[in-house]
């Protein structure tokens, strides 16, 4: 009763909408998060697949939310990445994984795009780890966080062109444990797909390391 009284006086609010959370909710309003614009989950998304055209062959590409600037989706990603709310990414990604499970994708393991250790120590977490963990839970697949590493803590790639990003990523990332990926079908996961170049470069590294095929999933993607 005391907790209910305190919640009445000082209600916890959704990190995206600012609306009071319902009893039992944490971090975000489930109703609000599920009202955000989403992609249909089917065999693959052809428009998103085109982002990797000319870079690398990936089997499927999926995203959950449709990303636009100054939107609820952008705010959700910001909260997950910068405001110490990776659990919100894990929660929404679990719904994503449950949706993906309905199309029965042929996936062996789920692998996140890595974060440089120094940046991970400063932030306290890698948001892609939480997203990959949530997707893996929803799909009932294995999550392997240590398959890839990021060795160079470079400046942002946002001002680089698509091909430059793709080539630059080859010097930033590497497959740390080839034995974990060889002969397996991998779902490579990041928080958002923009140009597809960085994710595509990591996908190529996994293919070069001997995995049989790579698919891509992100919590959000620009159309």
d(CA 54, CA 57): 8
The residues, ordered by sequence, that sit 6+ positions from 118 with a Cβ below 8 Å of its Cβ are 153
Q: Given this model, what pLDDT does residue 154 score? A: 64
DSSP-assigned beta bridge partners for residue 20 = 13
Report residue 38 as tokens.
């989403």
Residues 131 and 219: beta-carbon distance below 8 Å: yes
Token pair listed for 118? 């120094």
Residue 112 corresponds to which tokens in the numbers above? 């996140």
Q: Does residue 24 surpass a pLDDT of 50?
A: yes
Domain boundaries, the chain: 7-36, 37-222
**How many whole angstroms from its chain centre is CA 36?**
16
> Alpha carbon 1 to chain centroid distance?
38
Q: pLDDT per residue over 70-123, tens digit each?
A: 999 999 999 999 999 999 999 999 999 999 999 999 999 999 999 999 999 999
Q: Tell me what pLDDT residue 171 has.
A: 82
Contact 96, 219 (CB under 8 A): yes
Q: Which residues contact 167 (CB under 8 A, 6 or more apart)?
A: 201
The Cβ of residue 20 has, within 10 Å, a number of other Cβ atoms equal to 13
In this predicted model, what pLDDT tens digit does every residue of 138-186 receive, in sequence order? 999 999 999 999 988 765 555 567 778 788 887 889 999 999 999 999 9
pLDDT computed for residue 7 by the predictor: 45
Of the pLDDT bands very low, low, confident and very high (cuts 50, 70, 90), residue 52 is very high
Strands 148-150 and 173-175: antiparallel
- How far is 43 from 60, CA to CA, in rounded Å? 7
Q: Does domain 37-222 have CATH number 3.90.380.10?
A: no
Q: How confident is the model at residue 137 (pLDDT cuts 50, 70, 90)?
A: very high
């Amino acid at each position: 009763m005391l907790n209910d009284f305190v919640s009445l006086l000082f209600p916890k609010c959704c990190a995206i909408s600012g609306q009071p959370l319902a009893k039992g909710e944490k971090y975000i309003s489930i109703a609000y998060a599920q009202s955000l614009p989403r992609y249909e989950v089917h065999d693959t998304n052809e428009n998103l697949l085109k982002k990797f055209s000319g870079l690398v062959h990936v089997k499927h590409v999926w995203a959950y939310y449709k990303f636009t600037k100054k939107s609820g989706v952008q705010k959700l990603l910001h909260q997950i990445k910068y405001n110490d709310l990776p659990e919100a990414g894990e929660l929404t990604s679990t719904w994503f994984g449950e949706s993906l499970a309905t199309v029965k994708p042929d996936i062996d393991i789920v692998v996140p795009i890595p974060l440089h250790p120094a940046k991970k120590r400063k932030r306290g977490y890698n948001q892609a780890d939480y997203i990959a963990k949530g997707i893996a839970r929803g799909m009932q697949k294995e999550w392997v966080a240590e398959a890839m590493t990021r060795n160079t803590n470079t400046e942002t790639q946002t001002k680089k062109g698509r091909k430059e990003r793709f080539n630059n990523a080859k010097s930033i990332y590497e497959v740390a444990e080839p034995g974990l990926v060889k002969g397996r079908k991998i779902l490579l996961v990041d928080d958002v797909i923009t140009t597809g170049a960085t994710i595509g470069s990591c996908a190529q590294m996994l293919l070069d390391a001997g995995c049989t095929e790579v698919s891509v999933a992100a919590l959000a993607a620009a159309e």
